[in-house]
Amino acid sequence: MNMEFRKLTPNLMVKDVSKSAEFYTAILGFTLEMAVRKGTQEVSKSLEDGEGYAYAMVRRGGAFIMLMEKNAFLEDLPLFGECEIGASASFYFDVDDADALFDSLKGKVEISLGPLDTWYGMREFYVKDCDGYVLGFASRIPQD
C-alpha cells in the first residue's frame, strides 16, 4: 500500500496552555487557531485571562503545534503514564532566514545552541520553549 503522509503536527504536554500559547504566539509569531477551556468541548478562537484551558492549537505557515495541559493530555493518551513535561526529541523548523529569526528572538528566549553552519549545508540554532521543549530553526546555506 502506497499511502501519502500529509502533515506532522506535534502534540505537546504542557503545564499551562495559556502560557505556552503566549510563548508561541507573542515570541515565535504563531497565530492561535483554536483553544478549548478545561471541562468543556467549546472551541474558542481566543484565550481569555483567568480562564483555564485544556487544549490549544497554534500555527505559523504550514507548521502546526498542539498544546495540551498535562491532565488533559494524560486523560486522552494514558500510555504516557508518568512521563514528565519536556522531550528527548527536538522539533526542527525549516525557515526562510535562520539568522533573521535568530536576531528577532535574541533576549526573548533561551538560546541553547548556535547559530552555526552544519556540515550538511544548513544554518541553524536551537531554543527552549517555556516547557523545556527544544526547537530548532534552520535555513539552507546559499551555495556560491
Is the pLDDT confidence value at 82 over 90? no
Please name the residue that has the C-alpha cell 539552507: 140
Q: Residue 49's pLDDT is what? A: 83
User: Do 74 and 93 have their domain in common?
Assistant: no
Q: Which of the two residues, 73 and 6, has the higher pLDDT score?
A: 73
Q: Which of 78, 101, 127 is the last residue of a domain?
A: 78
Q: Residue 89's pLDDT is what? A: 81
The amino acid at residue 119 is W
Q: What phi and psi values does residue 113 have, to the nearest 5 degrees?
A: -160, 140
Q: Residue 86's pLDDT is what? A: 83
Whether 83 maps to a domain, the answer reads no
User: Do 102 and 57 have their domain in common?
Assistant: no
Q: Which of 60, 78, 96 is the last residue of a domain?
A: 78
Is the pLDDT confidence value at 28 over 90? yes
| Tens-place pLDDT, residues 38-70 | 999 999 999 988 889 999 999 999 999 999 999
User: Do 135 and 110 have their domain in common?
Assistant: yes
Sequence length of the chain is 144
| Tens-place pLDDT, residues 86-130 | 877 889 999 999 999 999 999 999 999 999 999 999 999 999 999
Is the pLDDT confidence value at 141 over 90? yes
Neighbour order of strands in the sheet with 134-140: 90-94, 134-140, 122-128, 110-117
Q: Which of 40, 58, 78 is the last residue of a domain?
A: 78
What's the total number of domains in the chain? 2
Q: Distance between terminal CA atoms of the chain? A: 42
User: Do 2 and 58 have their domain in common?
Assistant: yes
Q: Can you state the percent helix, strand and coil of the chain, rounding each to 5?
A: 20, 40, 40
